[in-house]
Chains A and B, each alone.
Chain A
């Protein structure tokens, strides 16, 4: 097979025009739809980080600077397709139908959380959004997303999977296994690597000696492409092309989206400890939101007033959602023992009774640390 073109595919050019050969043909409504979600994502990142600093939510893993890569790729998928997330893509989950209140309830780990407060914040799930349950181990979703797509192919259903992972995950055995199975069985999968420069504190040059991450596809017989991950149009075009290939039975595509993690790995990380702040400047100029906004404004499709109204509406909505989430009770004690199996086994019945009895004997007092308020 041919090598990977090391050139990075760009659509939105510096002069504000779109390269016609990679123009995904978005309508203004579609573009404004994605842009609104990019704004929502950035605003939520800011507010959730602030809430973590205030001690009101336990954790947040954001995507500052990666909004075009995340929202553009998810937007390019069809309703029947499924997303196998890494853990940094809440904005795309919301865009695909994760209910806003469910997301905020998950951030607070309360009784209304769809995962019943069993996971850290940002570890939600949404069958409605065709969004697989988020887990923390890096790379495990790659083989799973490949297997899911493979199953759909075996059942002759036209369905593709979008599998998110970062540059760090390309070092995992699951990346190797997933790419290999995807190549051998021609699974309808879009393997979407967000090369954001960092795996917590480890830079890309410590993840691989390869010139690019995309070229890893050659070894597995998986066509690969590099795109400017901060160029919404280029991302949408690349993913739509990959989905079309998958749908036509031509198998998987590996996409390396070049972007930059402008924030820390998570709220528990301080990037000042390992990278110079001037490294950010070049990426501030390539801010994916600004690029879309300028394009919309140049074509009189967006105004500052619309931007302000959108942000205000989002903040109002968030304020209401937070007040509901904070007022919700923490998960019921008994729920700890549910969903381990479809039906509780005898040992879980015993341990459940033991916990409830211990709470009774403490007159309903439970430890105050951890969990949600309520």
Chain B
């Protein structure tokens, strides 16, 4: 099995699906000859040509609006939003149109596509190249949201997202685009959406994480183990529909919950996860759940490593959740 980083794995998934289905098209800013600012679509232009790997004018609203039209026609667009921070001009099209077309037309029309967008901080990108806006999309009825943390998951989940009948927002943690490396199955490889992965088993506390912060959660869990706390770390992988059964099964076992995400805390996805757990297994909980998240501030530039919920902020939470009575 070849070793790949995240960029190569996503590129591989795109290539496989474009070979398999000639209706799959990529469009976005700089996705063509240069292969995207992160080189995720590198060399796809050479193989599939300018009609399937399309450099567009600089207009997120135009990209997504046109992609919806293409999807209504029957193509399978995979638009790239260069940074998730720039997705907002397209928010109306995503929320009011893309996510609603199946419902509002009584199933007469569907517009499936995969919107790829790099997310997250830790790359010295400042406020406008670092946001992690999953919550604003999970809240929207009709969308699915995915955020992989490993190259093989990225390939398998993107493949499934492209084959999925519903619109999917595919969030790519850019801090680990090249840092995350691993074995990736060759050829056709699909992983089902909606299934989380238990990446570390433990009996004391359940840790929910995804994307780049998964590695921070695993690091904190390793350090906690040295202090006698065994954390079970779950990589959510698909954020919506989230794998509720795996989460609840774990919390039932551990009785404790720590949630990690980069986005601001208030009304972040952690709030929903916390509610889902407490509504179901409140009496199994032995301590109040803890959220370790970005702060309720705009994303800061110089202090980004203090803003992010890195291992050194997760570890105290793991120890603290054990002390509660």
A residues near B (Cβ < 8 Å) are 84, 113-116, 118-119, 123, 125-127, 132-133, 135, 137, 140, 142-152, 154-155, 161, 173-174, 176-178, 180-181, 184, 338-342, 345-347
B106 within 8 A of A: yes
Do A151 and B75 touch (CB < 8 A)? yes
**A151–B73 contact, CB under 8 A?**
yes
Closest to A184 in B: B57
Q: Quick check: which of B59-67, B115-123, B255-263, B297-305 contacts chain A, the rest being far away?
A: B59-67
CB within 8 Å for A340 and B103 given contacts A149-B69, A150-B69: yes
Give chain A residues whose Cβ lies under 8 Å from the Cβ of B244: 346
Residue of A nearest to B22 (CB): A155
Q: A115-B104, A127-B108 are in contact. Are A148 and B241 (CB under 8 A)?
A: no
CB neighbors of A among B68-96 (8 A): 68-75, 89, 92-93, 96
Bound complex: CA of A147 vs CA of B98, how far in Å?
13
Tell whether B179 is near chain A: CB-to-CB under 8 Å.
no
Closest chain A residue to B109 by CB distance? Answer: A133
- What residues of A have a CB within 8 angstroms of the CB of B105 in the complex? 114-115, 125, 133
Q: Is B25 an interface residue (CB 8 A)?
A: yes
Contacts of B107 in A (CB 8 A): 338-339
Tell me if B37 counts as interface (CB < 8 A to partner A): no
Q: A143-B65, A150-B66, A341-B142 are in contact. List 17 more A-B contacts (CB 8 A).
A: A84-B69, A125-B105, A135-B97, A137-B92, A140-B65, A144-B72, A148-B73, A152-B73, A174-B93, A177-B66, A181-B62, A184-B57, A339-B103, A340-B102, A340-B141, A342-B166, A345-B240
Give the Cβ gap from A191 to chain B, nearest Cβ, in Å: 13
Cβ-based interface call for B165 (8 A): yes
B52, B59, B73, B244: residue with the most chain A Cβ atoms closer than 10 Å: B73
Question: What residues of chain B lie closer than 8 Å to A152, measured between beta carbons?
Answer: 73
Within 8 A of A (CB), among B210-226: none
A119 to B109, CA, bound (A): 14
Q: Given that A137-B96, A140-B93 are known contacts, is A181 also in contact with B106, CB under 8 Å in the complex? A: no
Does B61 contact A181, Cβ atoms closer than 8 Å?
Answer: no
Complex Cα gap A143–B67 (Å): 9
Shortest CB-to-CB span from B89 to chain A, Å, is 7
Instruction: Please tell me which one of the listed residues A118, A123, A150 contacts residue B70 in the complex, with CB atoms under 8 A apart.
Output: A150
Q: Give the distance in Å from the alpha carbon of A132 to the alpha carbon of B72 in the complex.
A: 9
Contacts of A161 in B (CB 8 A): 69
Q: How far is the CA of A344 from the CA of B322 in the complex (A)?
A: 37
**Is B56's CB within 8 Å of the partner chain A?**
yes
Other-chain contact of B57, A116, A119, A181, A341 (Cβ < 8 Å): A181
Q: Does B101 lie at the interface of the complex (its beta carbon under 8 Å from any beta carbon of A)?
A: yes
Inside 8 A of B96's CB, which chain A residues have their CB? 135, 137, 140
A135 — which chain B residues lie within 8 A by C-beta? 96-97, 100, 104
Give the most central of B65, B67, B89, B142: most A CB within 10 Å.
Answer: B65
User: What's the least CB distance linking A254 to chain B, in Å?
Assistant: 16
**Is B325 an interface position by the 8 A CB rule?**
no
- Closest approach, in angstroms, between the C-beta of A213 and any C-beta of chain B? 19
> Which of A84, A151, A184 counts the most B-chain CB atoms under 10 A from its CB?
A151
Cβ–Cβ < 8 Å partners of A146 in chain B: 65-66, 69
Shortest Cβ distance from residue A211 to the other chain B in the assembled complex, whole angstroms: 26
Which residues from A are CB-within-8-Å of B166? Answer: 341-342
CB-based closest 10 A-B pairs:
A147-B69, A143-B65, A177-B62, A147-B66, A133-B105, A151-B73, A148-B69, A144-B69, A342-B165, A345-B241
Q: Are B57 and A148 in contact (CB under 8 A)?
A: no
- Residue pairs across A and B with Cβ atoms less than 8 A apart, 9 shown, are A144-B68, A151-B75, A154-B51, A177-B61, A181-B62, A341-B102, A341-B166, A342-B166, A345-B241
Q: Using known A-B contacts A125-B105, A181-B57, determine if residue A144 contacts B75 with beta carbons closer than 8 Å.
A: no
A149 to chain B, nearest CB (A): 7
B141 to chain A, nearest CB (A): 5
Distance in angstroms from A189 CB to nearest chain B CB is 9
Contact of B106 among A115, A137, A341 (CB under 8 A): A115
B65 contacts which chain A residues (CB < 8 A)? 140, 142-144, 146-147, 174, 177-178
B residues less than 8 Å from A133 (CB atoms): 101, 104-105, 108-109
Q: How long is the Cα–Cα vector from A145 to B101 in the complex, in angstroms?
A: 14
| A113 contacts B106, C-beta separation under 8 Å | yes
A123 CA to B65 CA, complexed, in Å: 19
Q: Which of B52, B66, B69 has the most CB of A within 10 A?
A: B69
Scoring B residues 224 to 262 as 1 if CB is less than 8 Å from chain A, else 0, what string do you get? 000000000000000011001000000000000000000
Instruction: List residues of chain B with CB within 8 A of the CB of A155.
Output: 73, 75
Complex CA–CA separation, A269 to B51 (angstroms): 46
Q: Which of A154, A341, A346, A347 has the most CB of B within 10 A?
A: A341
Query: Could you tell me the distance in whole angstroms from the C-beta of B63 to the nearest C-beta in chain A?
Result: 8
Cα of A346 to Cα of B193 in the assembled complex, Å: 13
What residues on A are CB-neighbors of B102 within 8 Å?
Answer: 339-342
Q: Which residues of B contact A148 (CB under 8 A)?
A: 69-70, 72-73
